[in-house]
A = this chain, B = another copy of it.
């Protein structure tokens, strides 16, 4: 698995029993995920589900006054479109590409066929959804109790876990939209991290220099989400071995 852009780089597709994967493979369509693209609109229909491989997608709630808040972030660990198999068909959230890259998509009907007929897909998707629930719950906790500094650390680490490199393309303005805070607040928090030598950034490009340092500063919320994800969906064994 040296190619970072094969469907198997998505943890869910990779964890699927071989027979089920083979059935789906011909129907997986590789798609471009440009920064800022809206994959689903709030309340919109879900014709496809998306399995990111090198991209990251944010689930956002956009308020009536236009302000926003990130509910959860999905990358190669997951799937966009859980409302499809959960039965609701839509969600009151928007899904936006937060980090450009690629994903593989599948027609909703095909996924549903697999979901209804085969145990492997059903249990895998439900376990992932539970991990997603944990992430949302912890976002709520973090929004209530932790400082912007801590939330920025959490956000950086969650994004980092879903990317192949230690660099992400993201302006402070966009981070502020995700966290639901002022842009200046992000500037200040990011400044502290840069002075501490943990990150380097310039004009929308952030490089993480000292990941352990970030983990020291982050609040418990990150660790709770990480531990629960690992418990529910062990990372691919190939990646562990390497």
Residues of A at the B interface (CB closer than 8 Å) are: 59, 61, 63-64, 67, 69, 71-72, 82-83, 85-88, 91-93, 123, 126-127, 129-134, 136-141, 143-145, 180, 220, 224, 227-228, 231-232
A134 to B, closest residue via Cβ = B92
Across-interface contacts of A59 in B (CB, < 8 A): 137
Q: Which of B67, B86, B145 contacts A126 (CB 8 A)?
A: B86
Q: Which of B67, B127, B136, B232 contacts A145 (CB 8 A)?
A: B67
Excluding A63-B141, A133-B133, 6 further A-B contacts by CB distance (< 8 Å) are A69-B145, A71-B137, A72-B137, A88-B232, A91-B134, A145-B180
Across-interface contacts of A143 in B (CB, < 8 A): 140, 143-144
Docked CA distance A132–B86 (Å): 11
A127 touches B88 (CB 8 A): yes
Docked CA distance A228–B91 (Å): 8
One complex includes copies of this chain to the number of 2
Docked CA distance A91–B135 (Å): 11
Docked CA distance A224–B93 (Å): 10
Write the nearest CB–CB distance from A179 to chain B, whole angstroms. Answer: 8
Write the nearest CB–CB distance from A78 to chain B, whole angstroms. Answer: 14
- Complex A-B, nearest 9 residue pairs according to Cβ-Cβ distance, in ascending order: A140-B140, A143-B143, A86-B130, A87-B127, A144-B180, A143-B144, A139-B140, A71-B137, A88-B130
Write the nearest CB–CB distance from A51 to chain B, whole angstroms. Answer: 19
A92 touches B140 (CB 8 A): no
Interface pairs (22), CB distance under 8 Å: A61-B137, A63-B220, A71-B140, A71-B141, A72-B137, A82-B130, A83-B130, A85-B126, A87-B126, A87-B232, A88-B130, A88-B228, A92-B138, A93-B137, A129-B129, A129-B133, A132-B133, A133-B133, A136-B137, A136-B140, A141-B180, A143-B143
Q: Which of B61, B69, B123, B144 contacts A87 (CB 8 A)?
A: B123
B86 touches A129 (CB 8 A): yes
B228 touches A92 (CB 8 A): yes
Q: Which one of A59, A86, A123, A220 has the greatest number of beta carbons of chain B within 10 Å?
A: A86
Across-interface contacts of A129 in B (CB, < 8 A): 86, 129, 133
Docked CA distance A71–B136 (Å): 9
